[in-house]
Structure 1
Amino acid sequence: MYETLCSPITLGNVTLKNRLIFAPTTMGLSDEDYFKKIEDIAAGGCSMIIIGDVPVLPARFGHSLYSKKGFAYYQKLAETVHRHDCLICAQLHQTDTNLKGMIKYIPGVLTKKISQQELRPLLNAQVAPYISGLPVKKVKKITAAFGTAAVLAKKAGFDMVQVHGDRMCGSFSSAVFNHRTDCYGGSAENRFRFAVEAVSAIRSQLADFPIDFKLAVRQENPHYGNAGVLDTELPLFVPMLEAAGVTSFHVTLANHSSLEDTIPGAKHPYFSEEGCFLKFCDQVCKYTKLPICGVGGLVHPDFIEQQLADGRIQCAAMSRQLIADPQWMNKVAAGETGKIRRCVRCNKRCLGGMMAHQGVHCIYDNRLSGTNA
């Protein structure tokens, strides 16, 4: 019944066993709980897990591919996922947060006078001056680091990499944030240079390694997202990325606005429907024949199968649904869709948990809800 969803697909030179991918997700969990969550999802039958926000530069905080401890962390993560016949992808990421500018908000965050929801627009307000003021020498160091990080990711056991096309890539691409007047600003081609150089740096280091690109599309009328590219810029941007070495696209709404927009709940005023971001895939597919992965509140097997069978997308990515029920794909393959714990997109324990610094969980989580759902 779900022939397309259950069928394999090749991205670059790797073959996924089915069309379901776990989307990159910030969990906010302890390492122990995070590894358990990732292993549960890998064991649940999806074909690949994308590990979000893997830094391309050496990092003082968090996990880094450049440190012995950090490399071992990612290596263990890859081994854990591979035990379940599941592939793993590193989302290579460079933050566009002005860390120096962020310092003044730390006391307010620690004392909880500034909530995560209040902090986000404060940080976003610093993106334009930060991006616009970065020295060219620093910019080139960052784009070159994508290649170095990709090599390390491959050594750690990752099967492919994804370039995070939002964050710094998206901010450079966006006329909203990028006010530069040099070769990285002004025209669309110049604004796209950062992203293209990042992809090219990987391809120059790894000739045959698969490179996915998280393509963030900014929407107007009504306005959603501030980074990324407009749909009118896709005819230029997509071929540039393909020529640089991208082998597939992961298409979604641009970020740098309310998290409730990029992770929309069922009552969102604009993105309330299942598959709410697939319209951006419709735009991207006009300019490429490469595989496209769609996201956006995907829950129901019948709906997803139809999108895949119609060729609208070639892969489907989900996060909240696999947090609600890691066994989603196994149940689909076994014809037991009636047993799926369906995500209702309430955002209470997932987005809500992240915003409250409690980690990403679900209303079905017995430890938190006390229910037997």
Structure 2
Amino acid sequence: MYESLFQPLTVRGLTLKNRIVFAPTSMGLKSGDFLAHIDRIARGGAGLIVIGDVPVLPSPMFSLYTPEGLDFYRQITQTAHAGGAKISAQLHMSDSDVQGLQRYLPDLRAGRITPDNLRRKLNDMTGDFITGLPVERIQTIIDGFGQAAILARDAGFDMIQIHGDRMCGSFSSSIYNHRADAYGGSPENRARFAVSCVQAVRRAVPDMPIEYKLAVRQEDPHYGNAGILTDELPVFVPLLDAAGVDCYEVALANHGALTDTIPPHNHPYFSEPGCFLKFCDLVRPLTNRPLCGVGGLGDPDFAAAQVDSGRVDYIALSRPLIADPDWPRLVQNGQTDQIFRCVRCNRACLGGMQQHQGTHCVFDEKRRAARGE
């Protein structure tokens, strides 16, 4: 019944043992706890793990550009490989106005504004930041994508994912991009930054597969502010294909409420299983590249049906694998009745991240007790 989920998938010479991906997720865990989490996901049977928000340029965060950071990423890749999974680095370039952020830090520390309020303020500053970014800085960032890809390869990553939200998504969006030069105006020009980043990675690591996280913005009703308007996909997707993209993860664009891109079970619009698959349906006629679906795919029967039908080629799970890292193994063994299934409550996963307590699941203790973990 679930055979399609466990067929190998080969992308530019890299073979994934199955069609199940742990989606890039902000975990907020200490290094040791994070490595233990990667170990559990890998040993639970996921074919690919995507490590989110790997900085493109030198960063105060763990960075590929420092010996300590490179060593930590090597530990991550070695842990994933030891557990039987392939691993991808999601190259990320923030579109936050860091200098503009500084004026809000005293209010944040004093508790006068919440982290969520700060996030909204940063989103509000994105348009001016993207529109005013000097061309010389843009080129530095594009070059950084290529350099970061080389370092990621050296750290042991098997694949590169380019984060098509954040800076790539903001350049793509007419909401944020009001430039009057070659990077703004027409859809073709607004695609130029993302296309250039893909080209830089392809030149730097010609043999590595490149996945592009395709962030889609919709209207009627409006969701997502960065990313590509649905009507503009026929312009963007062929350009990204030609630049060197091998496969796509298709999702809703960000820069709105986190509960839109990580929708709970009672979301007013994205409450149904496979809530973002309609965006894959729009992309499918535009490319022959493999498509990864995401959003509400925790039910094995539903997920397998999407791959069986050819609607998507592989699936990305985040909350379902946080709820139960053994989801792939249990599905493959026909033990779906033993899965601790994500109920999309967002209490300890998104809630834990927002409260700086780390991303967890309300079922953690129950699952550990049942499995003797």
Question: TM-score when scaled to structure 2?
Answer: 0.98
Residue 91 (str. 1) matches residue 95 (str. 2): no
Q: Using the alignment, how far apart are the partners of 1:301 and 1:285 within structure 2?
A: 22
CA distance in 2, matches of 1:370, 1:89: 27
State the match for 1:243 in structure 2.
242
Residue 2 to residue 98, structure 1, CA distance change in 2 (3 Å): same
1:96-142 per-residue CA deviation (whole Å, 9 max, x = no partner) reads 00110111111222222221221111110110000000000100110
8 Å Cα contact 1:171-1:178 kept in structure 2? yes
What residue in structure 2 maps to residue 134 of structure 1?
133
> In the TM superposition, what is the alpha-carbon distance from 1:305 to its structure 2 partner?
0.6
Give aligned pairs, total. Answer: 371
What residue identity is the alignment partner of 2:127? A
CA distance in 2, matches of 1:139, 1:194: 8
Correspondence for 1:78: 77
1:36-55 mapped onto 2 (5 Å cutoff):
36-55=36-55
User: Structure 2 unaligned runs (5+)?
Assistant: none
Alpha-carbon distance in 2 for matches of 1:361, 1:371:
15
The Cα of 1:372 is off from its aligned counterpart by 6.6
Matched with 1:360 is 359
CA deviation string 1:224-243 (max 9, x = no partner) = 00000011111110010010
SS at match of 1:257: coil
Query: 1:58 corresponds to which letter in structure 2?
Result: P
Q: Deviations over 1:61-80 (max 9, x none)?
A: 21100100000010110000
Separation (CA, whole Å) in 2 of partners of 1:370 and 1:116: 31
What is the Cα deviation at residue 178 of structure 1? 0.2
RMSD across aligned C-alpha pairs, in angstroms?
A: 1.4
Map 1:246-257 → 2, pairs under 5 A:
246-257=245-256
Q: Secondary structure at the match of 2:89?
A: strand
Tell me the distance in 2 between the aligned counterparts of 1:371 and 1:334: 21
Match in the other structure for 1:191: 190
Report the CA distance shift for 1:110/1:371 in structure 2 as closer, same or farther (over 3 A): farther
* C-alpha deviation, 1:370, in angstroms: 11
Partner amino acid, structure 2, of 1:45: G
Residue 52 of structure 1, CA deviation = 0.2
Moved over 4 A (4+): 369-373
Distance 1:365 1:99 in 2: 36
* 1:361 partner SS: coil
In 1, the alpha carbon distance for the partners of 2:131 and 2:276 equals 29
Change (3 A) 1:13 1:371: closer
Paired position in structure 2 for 1:21: 21
Report whether the alignment pairs 1:221 with 2:220.
yes
Structure 1 residue matching 2:27: 3-state secondary structure: coil
- Alignment of 1:267 with 2:266, yes or no, is yes
| Aligned residue identity for 2:39 | E
> Does the CA contact (< 8 Å) of 1:364 and 1:372 recur in 2?
no
- Deviation per CA, 1:225-282, whole angstroms, max 9, x where unpaired? 0000011111110010010000000000000000000000000000000100000000
Specify the code of the residue in structure 1 equivalent to 2:157.
F
Mapping of residues 278-293 of structure 1, within 5 Å: 278-293=277-292
Q: Percent identity?
A: 54
What does residue 317 of structure 1 align with? 316
Specify the SS of the correspondent of 1:249: strand
Matched with 2:173 is 174
| Amino acid in structure 1 at the alignment position of 2:248 | F
Structure 1-normalised TM-score?
A: 0.98
Letter in 2 for 1:54: V
